[in-house]
A and B are shown apart, each in its own frame.
Chain A
């Protein structure tokens, strides 16, 4: 249930060209074949009473409230489960139906608490509504009989209650958990009168429930209810906006009382999520108003000084003066900045504009450097542009889905639900991952192939798959001939024996026959779709692997239509947007190189500034230059580089070496420990702008409340630029988007007005595609012909050794997000209070480690300590952890190794040793390298 009632047509839409015309209460209506009577009636404006039906779920036919009469048919069929047929005449109202419905409602109400006035769902309860609709005036059965009114309420979940006494056993929650979320954590336990909703016989918190909220959304009563609604009451207004967590970019209705956010409800019209959500977007918004938020600008001369709160004018003039002073002493190129993937397109755009036009250099980079920069390089080299090829909806047409180096059920849960639905319908699944992620085997899901490769051997595996395609005659010759170039050179390379599955079996750990079978399946099963994550990009050959996947997709013709494609699952909410907005040091908006005189000239004219034709420093280069002495100041927008970037010791040495570190963020994060200026940022609830998700969908981010800091982030940036002597002023963020559209061909048709009118668009959006482009490269690649690029496998320099015999790979989990700055300040800590080290039982046993022991994790660059969890998800020799908690600081151990083309760090391969931490050692002693010699070799 939600505050703003979206139309609920009772059963899902049916697709198909064939239509039938029926008559409902005398009104003719034409609908697609297979549509239910209930939906046809709703489409003609007639609402049939219902309780167990809702249009997000398949019809169930249990409540018997939606009975109708149909001419020529006996009885009173349920309208939700009865499909229309041509010429059908339906009556939804008659004395007989009225009596039947009242009888049904009497039974429900006789076993339901009569506390409507004090019930948390008062005014938002379908049972209450239907009692009114059917004209219930009496309950002849009384209330004294056997009932469920004494059932206990389960309050174990941090975000919602399960008040079993109010359950009407309609199964909507059970079906939502299965059909929408795909977790199947809920069931109806027992039979007959004893039947009840159960989370597998456990408390919700102890069950398989992933707290996506689909059950709460589906519940027609107060049985599953947000605790915030119980505490605060029903919201009174609603603002449609976009989630600020992962790259799925779900649309939500932020429901408020005044300026107090009561709940976030997934929006049915959201193109990315279509009414679904995950535990982060649905519930973990408390950080936005957390007392840790810093709301006042602060400055200090030295990082050892106390912070001094100042007003905005002082902070801005201080920052501008310091930046100019450093430039006057060390040169124009001595300063730079980093844009954030968590801020809006408009906020990113003004930061890169400030750097290029006011700073006068191209030393701008973005946190995509450490995640998906290889996607930018690889897809541009092969397809011509830096973006995924499909919309999320496309997965519903895939016949075989290959998930490579991604863990969608944790990282991109709402998309994972779409994917799992398609797999339950029959699509095949190939998982390529060193870990046995949940998708490999979970309820009603089983991967046909799990290629459990050794970390660092992605390119060898993808080449071997392409080798099979080529040498077994599975190439789509027509597609290659019509749409691609440089095939022969690539084919000569990929056919070499060293790329064969048998040749790489020992190296990759993937049995050759299994790899051959997976390649055949991908090439021959119909529509083949590749989805990938940071397990592809965060390697020394991340860019090579992206090109390898593009080669494989082109060779099999799996590009340019629904159900296929090569799709990055972006980590943060606006990674795609931050890259689109010209955040890379070598590219202006729309991925156009700064050396292009024509493009640069357009910007120079619009901006009134001279721009440099040479690329600037990337983030790792900035760190190196800081330590070397030529880079003296950095502006960091919404990114905690001291926690998220690799080799923490190197990062903090660079930050310490700088004269000025400016941090613009919600919280005093790890990077702020090295900052001289702190500029408080705004949460997504205060922002006004746009995010662009992983499917290139540009969504509006609407302000739910005014900025609690007194200034929007784009205003702060513009004022710093002004104070530095460069005129930059906007009255509204829509003016920034208008400027972006004027400068960027792929955004030419984008405006706030259009987004407010049609909801969202996927770029390219211009005169050729006024409402956007869901699927790319349909008639031709952006670069003209798709380009095959040979991708030789080059092993990483990072090798396991006698001293560091294990390989560490890092990732994320469902309940936490990135460095945890947001999710650690929410109820989500209930699921993940600390980072742990997953270690194979064999590796643990030989080191004397038991489940739960505190261990030291050490690499050649550093060490940390954390708790061990024994798990056989990884093969022997591989350990795994997350980087959500600064106290662990997993990046203390990751190294300077990076992707050869983009410098994206190699987070996924670090040679480490693990040993028991001595009980006497303090918890943070592991960060002292002196513990290393004590560890067993």
Chain B
């Protein structure tokens, strides 16, 4: 599994206690704050090629990151 997918899924599970919209926003904010751009780009690539590998909340966060 791609490290970025694994990391994004691990972040996502920490925010499951929140309402989905808030959780996705929090995950996106976390990734924006701490991830280097090429990591974010790699995450976006996986969203495109294998979206099912991502937690739904992580997928939604990626959508928010893409803007």
Contacts of B17 in A (CB 8 A): 493, 790, 792
Show 21 residue pairs from A and B whose CB-CB distance is below 8 angstroms, ordered by the A residue. A333-B38, A363-B36, A541-B14, A586-B33, A586-B34, A593-B33, A614-B36, A615-B36, A616-B36, A617-B36, A618-B34, A620-B3, A621-B3, A621-B39, A792-B16, A900-B10, A900-B11, A901-B11, A901-B14, A901-B34, A902-B34
A544 interfacial contact with B, CB 8 Å: yes
Task: Give CA–CA (A901, B33) in the complex, Å.
Answer: 11
Task: Give CA–CA (A901, B29) in the complex, Å.
Answer: 12
What number of A-B contacts does a CB cutoff of 8 Å give?
50
Least CB distance, A646 to chain B, in whole angstroms: 14
Contacts of B7 in A (CB 8 A): 900, 903
Task: Give CA–CA (A610, B10) in the complex, Å.
Answer: 34
Task: Give CA–CA (A549, B27) in the complex, Å.
Answer: 22
Contacts of A595 in B (CB 8 A): 33
Binary interface encoding of chain B residues 1-30 relative to chain A, with 1 for a CB under 8 A from any of its CBs, else 0: 001000100110110110000000000001
Least CB distance, B16 to chain A, in whole angstroms: 7
A637 interfacial contact with B, CB 8 Å: no
Binary interface encoding of chain B residues 27-61 relative to chain A, with 1 for a CB under 8 A from any of its CBs, else 0: 00010011111110000000000000000000000
Binary interface encoding of chain A residues 714-756 relative to chain B, with 1 for a CB under 8 A from any of its CBs, else 0: 0000000000000000000000000000000000000000000
Contacts of B11 in A (CB 8 A): 900-901
Contacts of A625 in B (CB 8 A): 38
Least CB distance, A86 to chain B, in whole angstroms: 63
Known: A900-B10, A901-B11. A614 touches B39 (CB 8 A): no
Q: Is the pair A792, B14 in contact by a Cβ cutoff of 8 Å?
A: yes
Q: Is the pair B33, A615 in contact by a Cβ cutoff of 8 Å?
A: yes
Least CB distance, B21 to chain A, in whole angstroms: 16
- Nearest residue in B to A631 (C-beta to C-beta)? B38
Contacts of A903 in B (CB 8 A): 7
- Nearest residue in B to A899 (C-beta to C-beta)? B10
Task: Give CA–CA (A620, B6) in the complex, Å.
Answer: 13
Contacts of A792 in B (CB 8 A): 14, 16-17
8 A Cβ contacts from A202-225 to B: none
A630 interfacial contact with B, CB 8 Å: yes
Contacts of B13 in A (CB 8 A): 794, 900
Task: Give CA–CA (A540, B14) in the complex, Å.
Answer: 10
Known: A624-B3, A792-B16. A615 touches B34 (CB 8 A): yes
> Could you tell me how many residues of chain A have their Cβ less than 8 Å away from some Cβ of chain B?
30
Contacts of B16 in A (CB 8 A): 792
Task: Give CA–CA (A790, B39) in the complex, Å.
Answer: 27
- Nearest residue in A to B38 (C-beta to C-beta)? A630
Select one of A493, A585, A901 contacting B36, CB under 8 A: A585
- Nearest residue in B to A797 (C-beta to C-beta)? B10
Contacts of B38 in A (CB 8 A): 333, 625, 630
Q: Nearest 3 A-B pairs (CB), nearest first?
A: A900-B10, A624-B3, A792-B17
Q: Is the pair A544, B33 in contact by a Cβ cutoff of 8 Å?
A: no
Task: Give CA–CA (A362, B37) in the complex, Å.
Answer: 11
Contacts of A630 in B (CB 8 A): 38
Q: Is the pair A544, B14 in contact by a Cβ cutoff of 8 Å?
A: yes
Task: Give CA–CA (A585, B38) in the complex, Å.
Answer: 14
Least CB distance, B4 to chain A, in whole angstroms: 8
Contacts of B36 in A (CB 8 A): 333, 362-363, 585, 614-618, 621
Least CB distance, A626 to chain B, in whole angstroms: 12
Task: Give CA–CA (A595, B34) in the complex, Å.
Answer: 11
Task: Give CA–CA (A614, B38) in the complex, Å.
Answer: 10
Binary interface encoding of chain A residues 541-562 relative to chain B, with 1 for a CB under 8 A from any of its CBs, else 0: 1001000000000000000000
Binary interface encoding of chain A residues 901-914 relative to chain B, with 1 for a CB under 8 A from any of its CBs, else 0: 11100000000000
Contacts of B10 in A (CB 8 A): 540, 797, 900
Task: Give CA–CA (A621, B42) in the complex, Å.
Answer: 12
Known: A624-B3, A901-B30, A903-B7. A614 touches B37 (CB 8 A): yes
- Nearest residue in B to A627 (C-beta to C-beta)? B3
- Nearest residue in B to A617 (C-beta to C-beta)? B36
Known: A586-B33, A617-B39, A625-B38. 8 other contacts (CB 8 A): A540-B10, A544-B14, A586-B34, A614-B37, A615-B35, A621-B3, A900-B14, A903-B7
Binary interface encoding of chain A residues 870-907 relative to chain B, with 1 for a CB under 8 A from any of its CBs, else 0: 00000000000000000000000000100011110000
Task: Give CA–CA (A363, B38) in the complex, Å.
Answer: 12
Contacts of A593 in B (CB 8 A): 33
- Nearest residue in B to A585 (C-beta to C-beta)? B36
Least CB distance, B3 to chain A, in whole angstroms: 5
Contacts of A900 in B (CB 8 A): 7, 10-11, 13-14
Binary interface encoding of chain A residues 265-290 relative to chain B, with 1 for a CB under 8 A from any of its CBs, else 0: 00000000000000000000000000
Task: Give CA–CA (A889, B3) in the complex, Å.
Answer: 24
8 A Cβ contacts from A616-672 to B: 616-618, 620-621, 624-625, 630
Contacts of A544 in B (CB 8 A): 14
Contacts of B3 in A (CB 8 A): 620-621, 624, 896
Task: Give CA–CA (A593, B33) in the complex, Å.
Answer: 8
Task: Give CA–CA (A363, B16) in the complex, Å.
Answer: 31
Task: Give CA–CA (A896, B16) in the complex, Å.
Answer: 23
Most chain B beta-carbon contacts within 10 A, residue among A493, A541, A614, A900: A900
- Nearest residue in A to B30 (C-beta to C-beta)? A901
Least CB distance, A293 to chain B, in whole angstroms: 36
Binary interface encoding of chain A residues 355-366 relative to chain B, with 1 for a CB under 8 A from any of its CBs, else 0: 000000011000
Binary interface encoding of chain A residues 592-623 relative to chain B, with 1 for a CB under 8 A from any of its CBs, else 0: 01010000000000000000001111101100
Binary interface encoding of chain A residues 8-37 relative to chain B, with 1 for a CB under 8 A from any of its CBs, else 0: 000000000000000000000000000000
Task: Give CA–CA (A790, B26) in the complex, Å.
Answer: 13
- Nearest residue in B to A541 (C-beta to C-beta)? B14
Contacts of B37 in A (CB 8 A): 614
Least CB distance, B24 to chain A, in whole angstroms: 16
Least CB distance, B15 to chain A, in whole angstroms: 9
Task: Give CA–CA (A797, B30) in the complex, Å.
Answer: 21
Task: Give CA–CA (A333, B16) in the complex, Å.
Answer: 34
Binary interface encoding of chain A residues 795-818 relative to chain B, with 1 for a CB under 8 A from any of its CBs, else 0: 001000000000000000000000
Contacts of B34 in A (CB 8 A): 586, 615, 618, 901-902
- Nearest residue in A to B8 (C-beta to C-beta)? A900
Task: Give CA–CA (A630, B38) in the complex, Å.
Answer: 9
- Nearest residue in A to B37 (C-beta to C-beta)? A614
Binary interface encoding of chain A residues 324-361 relative to chain B, with 1 for a CB under 8 A from any of its CBs, else 0: 00000000010000000000000000000000000000
- Nearest residue in A to B3 (C-beta to C-beta)? A624
Least CB distance, B52 to chain A, in whole angstroms: 19
8 A Cβ contacts from A780-794 to B: 790, 792, 794
- Nearest residue in B to A543 (C-beta to C-beta)? B14
Task: Give CA–CA (A593, B11) in the complex, Å.
Answer: 20
Contacts of A493 in B (CB 8 A): 17
Contacts of A797 in B (CB 8 A): 10
Task: Give CA–CA (A493, B37) in the complex, Å.
Answer: 34
Contacts of A585 in B (CB 8 A): 36
Task: Give CA–CA (A362, B34) in the complex, Å.
Answer: 11
Least CB distance, A125 to chain B, in whole angstroms: 59
Task: Give CA–CA (A618, B27) in the complex, Å.
Answer: 18
Task: Give CA–CA (A742, B55) in the complex, Å.
Answer: 45
Least CB distance, A331 to chain B, in whole angstroms: 9
- Nearest residue in B to A795 (C-beta to C-beta)? B13
Task: Give CA–CA (A918, B2) in the complex, Å.
Answer: 37
Most chain A beta-carbon contacts within 10 A, residue among B7, B13, B14, B36: B36
Task: Give CA–CA (A58, B3) in the complex, Å.
Answer: 58
Least CB distance, A798 to chain B, in whole angstroms: 12
Contacts of A333 in B (CB 8 A): 36, 38
Task: Give CA–CA (A85, B10) in the complex, Å.
Answer: 67
- Nearest residue in B to A625 (C-beta to C-beta)? B38
Contacts of A615 in B (CB 8 A): 33-36
Task: Give CA–CA (A918, B50) in the complex, Å.
Answer: 45
Least CB distance, A173 to chain B, in whole angstroms: 52
Task: Give CA–CA (A624, B38) in the complex, Å.
Answer: 11
Least CB distance, B49 to chain A, in whole angstroms: 15
Task: Give CA–CA (A617, B42) in the complex, Å.
Answer: 13
Least CB distance, A379 to chain B, in whole angstroms: 16
